[in-house]
Structure 1
């Protein structure tokens, strides 16, 4: 299974914020540079999504930026990935419109893939986002 690039980046935003010492909010420009020169517009969207999920708090204006809003040791990676990924179809027959597969109704592959996806999420649910951090938080850029 492949995660959306935005999901990967959202996880990295949370990990980066968690590694920062207590202090002022981190602005998007700093996040963009720290995360490998990411697009500021893309990061704004991701930060908005994380805010809607209650993961971060944003402050506008001079001195504004992003702060963690949720204790990452209580956020399960699998649940967060489910929320960020939405209902992305892994194969054509998972699409909401039913797709164009002529084998629907005569194929068991979609059941196997559905089971594999749920096992993937269950595996991720064994870990909190805090578990993703290095032992020394200062080891992150």
Structure 2
């Protein structure tokens, strides 16, 4: 056995359908450092666009289901910053594009340093919250 550890360090192929890879390249032509994660009946691509992390979910047929983009707290819409600040310090945000709908996810830390995940619609309406 010439290279006994080669199988340990070798990345295993993810078997991403060509139609899914093609859709990612069409939708995000400047995506860099793409990593694929097969899910049950979907494929998730984690990549960088303009030095910002994105996560896109595709169906087996290549349909873009949704994608997420990391945001700095100051990039959030004012209404969401105001709503989120009621609960504590906004640590970070994520915008979620699902079809024509927009959602915002925020990680907020309260005065006891407990962290919570809040999900809002684009108008600042709270959809859900959970402790992390």
Which TM-score bucket, shorter chain as reference? Answer: under 0.3
TM-score in terms of structure 2 length: 0.24
TM-score in terms of structure 1 length: 0.23
- Greater RCO, CA 8 A, separation 6+: 1
Task: Give 1 or 2: higher helix fraction.
Answer: 1
Task: Give 1 or 2: higher strand fraction.
Answer: 2
